[in-house]
């Protein structure tokens, strides 16, 4: 089992990587399985950003959003290929899961 510090370090690193990465080219306005990819990214990033800016706290509303959007991302990950910037989405998923699991 990972220590709290290891989890926080991993979240901080993934968040820094994600925040510095460009959104995958050509996906603005794209949907997969009816899910708008820009909104999916923005919702998860917003929840992570709020958590990071509040010292690790995620309020109930953002927690519900994070859980719902993480489930959607998990559902569409198998549909995302190299042209969709799959590593971008895989990193976002790892980040979302770490944040969600840290709050349990």
Residues 33-71: tens digit of each pLDDT: 999 999 999 999 999 999 999 888 899 999 999 999 999
Confidence grade of residue 104 (pLDDT, cut at 50, 70, 90):
low
User: What's residue 1's pLDDT?
Assistant: 47
User: What's residue 2's pLDDT?
Assistant: 61
Our count of domains for the chain comes to 1
Pairwise CA distance, residues 48 & 62, whole Å: 9
Pairwise CA distance, residues 20 & 73, whole Å: 20
CA dihedral 59, 60, 64, 66 (to 10 degrees): 20
Structural domain containing residue 15: 4-102
């Amino acid at each position: 089992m990972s220590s709290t510090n290891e989890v926080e370090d991993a979240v901080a690193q993934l968040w820094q990587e994600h925040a510095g990465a460009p959104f995958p080219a050509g996906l603005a306005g794209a949907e997969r399985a009816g899910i708008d990819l820009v909104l999916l990214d923005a919702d998860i990033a917003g929840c992570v950003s709020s958590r990071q800016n509040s010292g690790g706290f995620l309020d109930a509303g953002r927690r519900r959003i994070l859980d719902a959007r993480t489930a959607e991302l998990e559902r569409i990950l198998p549909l995302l290929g190299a042209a969709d910037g799959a590593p971008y989405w895989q990193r976002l998923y790892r980040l979302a899961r770490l944040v969600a699991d840290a709050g349990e």
